[in-house]
A and B are shown apart, each in its own frame.
Chain A
């Protein structure tokens, strides 16, 4: 499977794609119990009934020729907006001997990182991965973590410049902030 190109507005957290799929290609990865490549997904939000992120992941895999049950197994674990459950769910995926763990957000990535130092972890969506300390740098992430990092800090100035262009002078702008992380995130 060739590495995807980083999308506009996002940066790949390093190009250590050799770390991403250590076995090179999902089709030849050490297969799980089913004999198929086994992808674990750790979701802090969403539910099996409504999850755009996992639907997008499935669609992307389909585009690459991988379909659930046919030639790949996806095991998705939802914490239901309860981050304290993520470590146990990550441990569960590790116990299942998945070939790779896909995470979303800092809590899921932290749980996966603490659960395994060998299974590749792909950040499906992360903000400022380097600032969180999950990777050494965007260029050389190191360890067993790679993926996509949304560099909010780098983009923020551009957001505001664009908003200033389209809004009346002196217009106020609101920033929506998810409160949960305030007391515990790395500053």
Chain B
């Protein structure tokens, strides 16, 4: 076990998306340095919304992720 998002989380999120009828795609990140590329991937993938799976890194980086998202809006 490490400090990342969990398989259980992913399963629950994907099941919830299916239930609600949302077209969800996943973007993997390993560290903060990949945030920018992740936001590029979200934009290039046509994402109109983003959810963060709980992890200390993603939670701690919410401000940065929000700024990166705004810059790509």
Q: Across the interface, which residues of A come within 8 angstroms of B6, CB to CB?
A: 106, 127-128, 131-132, 181, 185-186
A52 close to chain B: CB less than 8 A? yes
Give the one of B1, B51, B65 with max A CB within 10 A. Answer: B1
A108 close to chain B: CB less than 8 A? yes
Query: For chains A and B in complex, what number of residue pairs have CB atoms within 8 angstroms?
Result: 194
Contact B8 A128 (CB under 8 A): yes
Give the one of A52, A176, A180 with max B CB within 10 A. Answer: A176
Q: Across the interface, which residues of B come within 8 angstroms of A104, CB to CB?
A: 56
Contact A187 B56 (CB under 8 A): no
Q: Give the shortest distance, in Å, between A7 (CB) and chain B (any CB).
A: 14
Closest to A108 in B: B3
Contact B13 A181 (CB under 8 A): no
Q: How far does the alpha carbon of A187 sit from the alpha carbon of B17 in the complex, in Å?
A: 19
Q: Give the shortest distance, in Å, between B41 (CB) and chain A (any CB).
A: 7
Closest to B38 in A: A176
- Given A170-B23, A177-B29, is A152 in contact with B54 using a C-beta cutoff of 8 Å? yes
Q: Across the interface, which residues of B come within 8 angstroms of A131, CB to CB?
A: 6, 8
Chain B interface residues toward A at CB < 8 A: 1-17, 19-31, 38, 41-42, 45-60, 65
- Other than the given A157-B19, A159-B51, A187-B7, 8 more pairs (CB < 8 A) read A45-B56, A107-B2, A127-B53, A127-B55, A131-B8, A179-B4, A181-B4, A187-B8
Chain A interface residues toward B at CB < 8 A: 43-46, 52-53, 81, 83, 104-108, 110, 125, 127-128, 131-132, 150, 152-153, 156-157, 159-161, 163-164, 166-168, 170-182, 184-187
20 contacts between A and B (CB under 8 A): A106-B2, A108-B56, A127-B5, A127-B53, A152-B12, A152-B53, A153-B9, A156-B13, A156-B15, A156-B17, A159-B16, A163-B49, A164-B22, A166-B49, A175-B52, A177-B26, A178-B55, A180-B30, A182-B7, A184-B1
